[in-house]
Amino acid sequence: MRFSDIQRKEIIAASSGRFLGYVEDAVVQKDTGYVEAFVVAEPKKFMSFSGAQKDALKIPIEDIIVVGKDVILVKGLD
């Protein structure tokens, strides 16, 4: 699977069904080349005036339950 395919999938918290965002980047272990985590940006809020940007969410590979056709279900984020 290509990284661009992962970026098009919605990230959903399995326990609550909450939409967390889309994969923005990946954390790759330098020595082995394995992906350790996905970086998920917070969904853009409509007409956000605050200008403050929250840190991106890191989802460890161990927290991914399933990569489906359209979504990625993750655990432990509620």
Domain spans in the chain, listed from the N-terminal domain onward: 3-44+54-74
pLDDT of res. 56? 79
- pLDDT band at 76; cut points 50, 70, 90: confident
The CATH code of the domain at 3-44+54-74 is 2.30.30.240
**Residue 18 to residue 66: CA distance in whole angstroms:** 15
pLDDT at 34: 92
Whole-angstrom distance, CA of residue 58 vs CA of residue 16 = 18
Both tokens of 26, joined, read 């990946």
C-alpha separations of 34 from 22, 26, 51, 60 in Å: 20, 10, 35, 12
Return the pLDDT at 47.
43
pLDDT tens for 11-64 read 999 999 999 999 899 999 999 999 999 999 876 654 455 555 556 789 999 999
pLDDT at position 30: 94
Q: How far apart are CA 42 and CA 57, in angstroms?
A: 7
Kindly give the residue spans of alpha helices, DSSP state H, lying in the chain: 3-7
